[in-house]
Amino acid sequence: MKQHVLIGLVSALTLSASAVAQTYQASDKAVQLAQDNLIIDTHIDVPYRLEKDWEDVTVATQRGDFDYPRAVVGGLNVPFMSIYIPANLERTEGASYQLAHKLIDSMEALAYRAPDKFDIAYSVADVEEQYERGVISIAMGMENGSPIEGDLANLQTFYERGIRYITLAHSESNHIADSSYDIRKQWNGLSPFGVELVEAMNNTGVMVDISHVSDEAFWQTLEVTKVPVIASHSSLRRYTPGFERNMSDDMIKALADNGGVIMINYGSAFVTQQANRYNAMIAKQAEAIREELGADSEEAQARIEKLRSSNPYPFATLEQVLDHIDHVVDLVGIDYVGIGSDYDGVGDSLPVGLKDVASYPNLIQGLLDRGYSDADIKKILNENLLRVWREVEAYAANN
């Protein structure tokens, strides 16, 4: 049973295609495109969310951005579940390694508990077979390479457990690479082991993810890799000047020359300058109030509360997310962009119109409204990422 046939199950879930169109303002065509095509989202933080606040995502949930019913409505076929490892765990020997295995265990358990709904995807062939069978493919990416712990044998271990991309670093520089967020830049890019790891990932069949790394680490990775790389959940620095976590135009051009793909992050702080600077602006003004009135005074607390209520968070919009996609296409073409939403990873900062995994038809409607063809949309939804994944698989098979 193909995944698009699952729309027939939606009535049992108290949802329907027409309800989606009404709720999310997507046309029947957009809903149908979502159901008739593979949708791959390369970054969804369900494992760490459930580690902190468990819910049964095989049924409708009260919290979070992902569950099975909403995924079916949205047409999501291949969520890359993020095996997210907090950067500070690298300071405790074995902690990153243990958490990574625990989070992978949780995804295997999810597939085991609901084999009619989920299965683990280890390859493009698995994705295609599972799509025909009508189950959602759980692919896995490791966000932060800390669990490798300087031992290439661990890379093989995690490959065998299903890890198909590794984000080299996260919010702090680690033993592999410098982070875009870390001012220390201890390696000025990749560490010597990081160079070895990129080469080994190529040979093993694990996609290299350059989201989160410093600019220097990005450029060095492109010099080392023999296959295309991905940015699993990044957006464009053009719209967030000075935010190194996003990619510059020159980096996107180089990524395209490499054959790689940038998967657009939905988080408002990644999408607009206003949202990107909001927290820092509020924190600066709140600190000034505390200094003036005393950190623990009731008057200070009241003033800060008023500050927050009169300056609500400036959520990005669907249109602004589409601007990022448009710019990549204008810059390098349709073949180098995809979806890396960061659902369950960016808190309550998701854009208006893209609040959970039921809303992919909204994105498709926006693309249709901007003149993208069905063939273009299919590339964004799945073909661009599948091309990279296949090239990585093929290179590893021959090395």
Across the range 151-166, mean pLDDT stands at: 98
How far CA 182 is from CA of 63, 173, 185, 187, 271, in Å, comes to 31, 6, 6, 11, 21
Q: What is the pLDDT of residue 20?
A: 40
Buried b (16+ CB within 10 A) or exposed e, 139-159: bbbbbbbbbbbeebebbebbb
Q: How confident is the model at residue 121 (pLDDT cuts 50, 70, 90)?
A: very high
**185 near 178, Cβ under 8 Å?**
yes
| Chain segment 187-197, per-residue pLDDT in tens | 999 999 999 99
Q: 28-36 and 17-24 are packed helices; what angle lies between their axes, rounded to 10 degrees?
A: 120
How far CA 365 is from CA of 18, 43, 65, 207, 354, in Å, comes to 14, 21, 20, 30, 12
For the record, the structure tokens of 243 come out as 């935010």
For domain 3-262+317-397, which CATH number applies: 3.40.50.720, 3.20.20.140, 3.20.20.70, 3.40.718.10? Answer: 3.20.20.140
| Chain segment 65-98, per-residue pLDDT in tens | 999 999 999 999 999 999 999 999 999 999 999 9
Across the range 172-188, mean pLDDT stands at: 97
Task: Write down the pTM of the prediction.
Answer: 0.92
Selection from 226, 162, 232, 155 nearest residue 197 by Cα: 155
Q: Is the pLDDT of residue 147 over 60?
A: yes
Q: Is the pLDDT of residue 36 over 50?
A: yes
**248 near 223, Cβ under 8 Å?**
no
Which amino acid does the sequence have at 358?
Answer: A
**232 near 165, Cβ under 8 Å?**
yes
Beta bridge partners of 192: none
